[in-house]
A and B are shown apart, each in its own frame.
Chain A
């Protein structure tokens, strides 16, 4: 049985169809990535799946409970890190966590033990009795994560948990998610960070303008666009972009910083031509890299292809 089974979800805000007939299934034990450009409807879908807003149409079964008719039972089983949510800034971190404990019906002792564990893991233990007002953004975000994890949920929804955080906080959160997943927690992760999705997720869904356009493993999505190759090259002196574009087999040229990025059908042939080009123009090659298609490429390709 799928841990999340959503069918034909729809949601409109006035004339804007934020979510247009989306169906998706998340399997128990996986990290499911949810990608899409700004305004694609990711947050709206997450809110419908977590029972925060009702869908206009469609159904969602989460942990075997209908999110519309048995919302409390479903919510009891999952944790949420909402996109724009906050902790109570006039309460301390500890008070915030104890409030969560009570709202999830945890015994006081268990809540306290879990809170200590989480605050330790997330490096907030010394500041637990300080008001959240005084926290930095990264500290707040870590606290919000702890609030979603207090009741040891089997399923965790995260809506851009690492946006705007520094490398250290990001790594801390991602490492924690990976550990939890190893221990059996299913994770539904919305993100803009392709690298994050690529490294973390078993499967990703790509959404654009309220519709799902692809759901697959990151490697498979990349393979689907493998016909494109990219080569990055830089020379020790200025060369004309037009001359590079004129090389046989090159389909695109782009200047990126001090480098040129070429797209080509066959990378081997293009590399031969580049070496010849370097000799002819007496411009020595400084760097030469071939780039495998990234999830970025797959994402851009898929989200552009779907445009009308």
Chain B
């Protein structure tokens, strides 16, 4: 066994993920940040904009749900652990910081996928049909990786006060929802709005979900997937690199 080898480190990352799920994702506060938020947003748009069809709004709900659930807790995990003195323990274990970050990401990916699957079933129950389920599965997998990496990026500032990254994450997530064509069709955005939305990974994911449900899309599907893939790689590499630098400052 080579403890520093990739398979062993991935196995240890899985141990971190299991711990996260047990400790954090089983808590009630998660429901507020992860589940109620998207539901409220959806209801606000649903009641406010009667002229938009359900077939348009449900994919938006799926997009927002995945964003909010995959980033529900990950920004605060490091601060919690720093504060409760468990981070020093992890830092002295034979696990790399990359593997710790990966473990935290895996937990938030699983949580995001779990809750998002429920919203998809809600959509199906409301009469939508899934035209492209392979695209749906692939894009949920990709986007959950991407969003969980964003969640971990928000955790980078070394503070042991969990509310700081949580606030930061809300400040970023809400604008993201508004610029991403989630509840407002991209076609209706002014050109500057479109330029903004092109910077948001949520745009591409929602576009993919919309395509999976209805067959309609704004960008070509391949472009959506490619850009989402690039975002995922950049965010994952970035968050691992940055956490490696800030970790010692937390102890």
Contacts and interface: CB of A to CB of B under 8 A. Distances in A.
Contacts of B248: 52-54
Q: Which DSSP category, helix, strand, loop or mixed, fits chain B's interface?
A: helix
Interface string A60-96: 0000000000111101100010101111111100010
B214 interface: no
Interface stretch (B15-23, B112-120, B183-191): B15-23
Nearest to B3: A76
Nearest to B89: A85
B85 A86 contact: yes
Interface string B154-175: 0000000000000000000000
Nearest to B100: A103
Contacts of A100: 93
Contacts of B18: 102
Interface in A39-61: 47, 50-54
Interface in B1-49: 1, 3-4, 8-9, 11-12, 14-16, 18-19, 22-23
B12 A102 contact: yes
Contact of B251 (A53, A71, A76): A53
B85 A84 contact: yes
Contacts of B91: 51-52
B97 to A, nearest CB: 10
Contact of A88 (B9, B86, B92, B94): B86
Contacts of B88: 47, 52, 82, 84-85
Interface of A: 47, 50-54, 70-73, 75-76, 80, 82, 84-91, 95, 99-100, 102-105, 147
A239 to B, nearest CB: 52
Contact of B84 (A51, A70, A89, A105): A89
Interface residues of B, number: 28
B129 interface: no
A84 B19 CA distance: 20
A86 B85 CA distance: 5
Contacts of A76: 3, 94
Contacts of B77: none
B95 interface: yes
Interface string B66-109: 00000000000000000011101111111110000000000000
Given A52-B88, A102-B14, 14 more contacts: A52-B248, A53-B248, A73-B3, A76-B3, A84-B85, A84-B88, A86-B84, A86-B86, A86-B89, A87-B89, A91-B23, A99-B19, A103-B93, A105-B1
Contacts of B86: 85-88
Contacts of A73: 3-4, 94
Closest CB pairs A-B (n = 4): A102-B15, A86-B85, A75-B94, A72-B4
Nearest to B84: A86
Contacts of B8: 105
B107 to A, nearest CB: 13
26 contacts: A52-B88, A52-B91, A52-B248, A52-B251, A53-B248, A70-B4, A75-B92, A76-B3, A82-B89, A84-B85, A84-B88, A85-B85, A85-B88, A86-B85, A86-B86, A88-B23, A91-B23, A95-B22, A99-B15, A99-B19, A102-B14, A102-B18, A103-B15, A103-B16, A105-B3, A105-B8
